[in-house]
Structure 1
């Protein structure tokens, strides 16, 4: 299994790399087919956020399955442990779901076709980021990106950052999209609806209630 450790706004110390490698047996024990694990350590420089200054994101790629978890803490080692706990829980859910599907079981998923629009964010995957801090926002929007590539620019002297990423999504059902959303730990998931062919979003509403948001043009709807 390939293990990739990178840092954002921080240097990765050898001790952290050693601890990461020593703990990855927890991943292989649950997901022996895991091919790649990417750990991203970020540092928040704002002293007011010292309690969550270190954030660890872990992404596991096993075949066509991507499982992700993240956590923040005052130091990178406790953040790693917290993220790893979340990750192993999601890996177990993935393993159990595969077993149930082999037995012919399927989990009922309550879906609420509400119209509450979620705050859009771009889904992150385990691919390396391509940052171009010197580009303008217009260049970021117009840039040609490959699958998994991203571009991120700051708007002048403001704290506003624009990030664009190309995500290749295979058509899937709403049930499959909800499952993928739970695996990556997001409150929403972008996908292409297999039944309608429309770009869509599933998202958490409250409790066990979910929403589905589909996008289409007036011309297509009128056909």
Structure 2
């Protein structure tokens, strides 16, 4: 548990298709508090835990006020190992993000830079694997975004054989993205108002 009075991230934990016990919430809060030294106190952290067909899934989204959204998910038969694995993934992503931002900007208010380095060997090994692959734009493409319904966007995506398709929603006149979900079906990503 986090000591009372200590400034922490804004954490929201919710359950989907399952009831969360206080023990589960405390465990998630305790594990995520290890990331607190890398995240400024005004950062929103949303956690969704779900259970389906004997597997537990945890999704964590870190949304700094000024910065890039960092997201990780993990699915396991047991929830507690899934929590540990998703926190490890987030540590790696935060470390990579921190290193990239330090190279480009000396001051970034979304991620704290005054903290000690992460000593976990898992981070160093995984960072070496990803370092050369990240942030290299290999192709740039311009597209004509046409107004259409969500159903038309799904059809267009299937016709071009892609896993996603960008379109302008003809009802809202906003840019949206339709994508194929790993577990079947489709999803839509829409811009959130600030």
Q: Shorter-chain TM-score: which interval? A: 0.5 to 0.7
| Counterpart-to-counterpart distance in 1, 2:75 and 2:50 | 9
| Mapping of residues 34-45 of structure 1, within 5 Å | 35-45=43-53
Partner of 1:132: none
1:118 matched residue in structure 2: 162
| Structure 1 unaligned residues grouped into runs of 5+ | 123-140, 147-158, 170-223
Q: Which 4+ stretches in 1 moved above 3 angstroms?
A: 141-146, 159-165
Residue equivalent to 1:3 = 11
Give how far 1:81 is off. Answer: 0.8
Q: Report SS of the residue matched to 1:63.
A: coil
Q: Which one of the candidate residues 14, 27, 31 is aligned to 1:19? A: 27
How far the C-alpha of 1:33 sits from its partner, in A, is: 4.8
TM superposition score normalised by structure 2: 0.55
For 2:180, the equivalent position in structure 1 comes to none
Residue 118 of structure 1 aligns to a residue in which SS? Answer: coil
SS of the equivalent of 2:105 reads helix
Quote the Cα distance in structure 2 between the aligned partners of 1:95 and 1:166. 27
Match runs of 1:116-195 below 5 Å: 118-120=162-164, 163-168=187-192
CA distance in 2, matches of 1:143, 1:29: 43
Find the counterpart in structure 2 of residue 109 from structure 1: 136
Q: Report the 3-state secondary structure (helix = DSSP H, G, I; strand = E; otherwise coil) of the residue aligned with 1:92.
A: helix
Count matched residues: 131
CA distance in 1, matches of 2:19, 2:165: 27
Structure 2 alignment gaps of length 5 or more: 1-8, 107-133, 142-159, 175-182
